[in-house]
Amino acid sequence: MLAAAAAVYTGGSGSGSGSAARELAVGARLRAEGVPAELVAAAFTQAELRHRAAAKFARAEEMFFTRAGLEQASSQAAAEHRAARFAGRRRLADLCTGIGGDALALAPGREILLVDRDPVHLRMAALNVAAHGAHRVDTLLADVRDADLTGYDGVFVDPARRTGDRRLASRASEPPLPWCFALADRVAAVAVKAAPGLATDQVPPGWEIEFVADGRDLKEAVLFSPALATTERRATVLHPASPEGRPVSLVGIPDPAEPGGPVAAPGQYLYDPSPAVTRAGLVGELARRLGAWQIDPMIAFLSSDTPVASPFARLLQICASLPFDVRRLAGELRGRGIGSLEIRRRGLAGDVDELRRRLLPRRRDLVAGGPAITLVMTRLRDEPWAFLCTHWFPDARPLPRPSLIG
Ligand SMILES: C[S@@+](CC[C@H](N)C(=O)[O-])C[C@H]1O[C@@H](n2cnc3c(N)ncnc32)[C@H](O)[C@@H]1O
């Protein structure tokens, strides 16, 4: 029955009127065969969730999900990257296991204890982990506060986030972060997953905090107890645009005296650091590695006169540099016959869609085959500023020095 339901989502686009019509037809056939309506509905839900879960898990079609469980689950890439920290540890406890997104990366070749107070999640986690191989899996349906951790040499905890609390305070999770940190008094090697907006002053002394982005999307923060920590701050990019595509990390200790490195006038190139780097406070570290500088002490854009490709930043060539003025920018863009426009901003407020409409009011403002331009809105020496840029790539023709307009 699950295979029949799955075919509805794999047979076409997976959404829209095509899959709705296929679902109706398959549902009618299954019910005519005597399958109870609730079972048919459950099979369709599972098939739809597996289809969506393929973005997170390589073997999603063999796994089980609830809608909330899938939404909260770590992606396989993030979980595998994190699990490497527990190398050499044989008995792990995965607290707040959910549907087992982390457990399936932690389990292979180990003894693992899965704990959750939600019986459906716990059962799904056990099935999902079994499908990925473990030396031994134990489950405990309980509040994690009641788990006996004696004999375990590593603990991972991914507390539930209270929805609606955007402040991401330490108590905005269940169990609260202070409880999670105190686990290190019982088992030395502890990793805690947290929201990426977590204030860094909540990190206990001696712990490492890692900010993880997938491509350009900031996904999560992970805190490692002193027994697992190897640095103070880490910024990791999963699936970087580099050829090998493996996760890459930038590590360092933020320098409070010079958080973003030296400051100077913009050069020919602009770097837009990964949100993992900015959250980790490692813009200064990145600047040092790239031989770059900040263009304003309050803004995380970096600049240089030599292009250095990096998985930790988008690299742009500056074509023009001018005070931010919509009419003048619109004239500049029209004069260049551009093919597309992307707008990036840091340090300047405003509605990007509205700005795009004002900059390119007519269809013919975009020219087929014209250059793809990125408009960077920011602040320079405390003044609203704009850069017109193109993306840099290894064969890019160096542009003349950017014109400073106005
Ligand atoms: C964020 S999800 C875990 C996601 C998981 N790491 C994954 O990748 O699939 C949080 C889970 O914690 C469970 N949970 C929250 N508070 C708990 C508590 N006090 N004791 C046990 N489980 C709890 C919820 O039932 C939920 O399944």
Sequence-distant (≥ 6) Cβ neighbours of residue 179 within 8 angstroms? 145
Q: How far is the CA of 179 from the centre of ligand 1 (A)?
A: 14
pLDDT of residue 165: 47
Residue 72 CB less than 6 A away from ligand 1 = yes
User: Do residue 189 and residue 142 come from a single domain?
Assistant: yes
Element (H, E) at 10: helix 2-10
Distance in angstroms (rounded) separating the CA atoms of residues 357 and 271: 26
User: Do residue 187 and residue 113 come from a single domain?
Assistant: yes
In the chain, % of residues over pLDDT 70: 90
Q: Tell me the mean pLDDT in the region 30-47.
A: 85
Of 313, 312, 292, the closest CA to residue 376 belongs to 313
CATH number at residue 397: 3.30.2130
Of 99, 75, 346, 52, the closest CA to residue 222 belongs to 75
Show which of 194, 221, 251 is a domain's final residue: 251
User: Do residue 242 and residue 382 come from a single domain?
Assistant: no
Report in angstroms the alpha-carbon separations of 14 from 9, 98, 173.
4, 25, 34
In terms of C-beta distances under 8 Å and separation of at least 24 residues, what long-range contacts does 227-230 make, across chains too?
Answer: 227/184, 227/188, 227/189, 227/190, 228/85, 228/86, 228/154, 228/189, 228/190, 228/191
User: Do residue 235 and residue 301 come from a single domain?
Assistant: no
User: Do residue 113 and residue 243 come from a single domain?
Assistant: yes
Q: How far is the CA of 151 from the centre of ligand 1 (A)?
A: 22
Q: How far is the CA of 122 from the centre of ligand 1 (A)?
A: 9
* Residue 17 binned pLDDT confidence (cut-offs 50, 70, 90): low
Residue 301 lies in a domain: yes
Residue 284 CB less than 6 A away from ligand 1 = no
User: Do residue 389 and residue 324 come from a single domain?
Assistant: yes
pLDDT of residue 170: 47
Residue 195 CB less than 6 A away from ligand 1 = no
Show which of 251, 284, 306 is a domain's final residue: 251
Residue 281 CB less than 6 A away from ligand 1 = no
pLDDT of residue 402: 65
Q: 21 pLDDT exceeds 90?
A: no
What are the tens digits of pLDDT across the range 345-399? Answer: 988 888 899 999 999 988 788 989 999 999 999 999 889 999 999 988 766 666 6
Q: 401 pLDDT exceeds 70?
A: no
User: Do residue 178 and residue 84 come from a single domain?
Assistant: yes
User: Do residue 39 and residue 100 come from a single domain?
Assistant: no
User: Do residue 214 and residue 151 come from a single domain?
Assistant: yes
Mutate which of 70, 117, 212 for ligand 1? The one with the most ligand atoms within 8 Å of its CB, which is: 117
Averaged pLDDT of the chain: 89
* Residue 166 binned pLDDT confidence (cut-offs 50, 70, 90): very low
322 CB-contact burial (10 Å; exposed 0-12 / middle 13-18 / buried 19+): middle
User: Do residue 335 and residue 392 come from a single domain?
Assistant: yes
The DSSP result for 87-137, as a single string, is TT--EEEEES-TTSTTHHHH-TTSEEEEEES-HHHHHHHHHHHHHH--SEE
Helix/strand/coil (H/E/C) assignment for every residue in 336-357: HCCCEEEEEECCCCCCHHHHHH
**Atom 14 of ligand 1 has which residue's CA nearest to it?**
96
Q: Tell me the mean pLDDT in the region 78-102.
A: 97
Instruction: Please give the number of the atom of ligand 1 that sits closest to the Cα of 74.
Output: 8
174 versus 131: the higher-pLDDT residue is 174
Residue 58 lies in a domain: no
pLDDT of residue 168: 46
Q: 1 pLDDT exceeds 70?
A: no
CATH number at residue 188: 3.40.50.150
291 versus 37: the higher-pLDDT residue is 291
Q: How far is the CA of 160 from the centre of ligand 1 (A)?
A: 5
Q: 403 pLDDT exceeds 80?
A: no
Q: How far is the CA of 125 from the centre of ligand 1 (A)?
A: 11
Q: Tell me the mean pLDDT in the region 43-47.
A: 91
Is the distance from CB of 132 to CB of 104 less than 8 angstroms? yes
pLDDT of residue 405: 57
Residue 258 lies in a domain: no
* Residue 33 binned pLDDT confidence (cut-offs 50, 70, 90): confident
In the chain, % of residues over pLDDT 90: 69
pLDDT of residue 293: 95
Mutate which of 97, 112, 132 for ligand 1? The one with the most ligand atoms within 8 Å of its CB, which is: 97
User: Beta strand 293-294 with 340-345: parallel, antiparallel or unpaired?
Assistant: unpaired
Of 335, 321, 330, the closest CA to residue 370 belongs to 335
Q: What angle do CA 99, 103, 105 make, to 5 degrees?
A: 125
pLDDT of residue 163: 61
Show which of 220, 251, 282 is a domain's final residue: 251
Q: Tell me the mean pLDDT in the region 79-92.
A: 97
Residue with tokens 């400073």, as numbered in its chain? 404
Residue 263 lies in a domain: no
User: Do residue 183 and residue 275 come from a single domain?
Assistant: no
Which residue stretches of 11-94 are H helix? 16-32, 37-53, 67-72, 76-83
What are the tens digits of pLDDT across the range 313-335? Answer: 999 999 999 999 999 999 999 99
Residue 264 lies in a domain: no
The total number of structural domains that make up the chain: 3
Residue 118 CB less than 6 A away from ligand 1 = yes
Q: How far is the CA of 97 from the centre of ligand 1 (A)?
A: 5
User: Do residue 104 and residue 180 come from a single domain?
Assistant: yes
Residue 73 CB less than 6 A away from ligand 1 = yes
Instruction: Please give the number of the atom of ligand 1 that sits closest to the Cα of 121.
Output: 27
Domain carrying residue 322:
269-404
Q: 28 pLDDT exceeds 80?
A: no
Residue 63 lies in a domain: no
Residue 165 lies in a domain: yes
pTM: 0.87
Residue 179 lies in a domain: yes
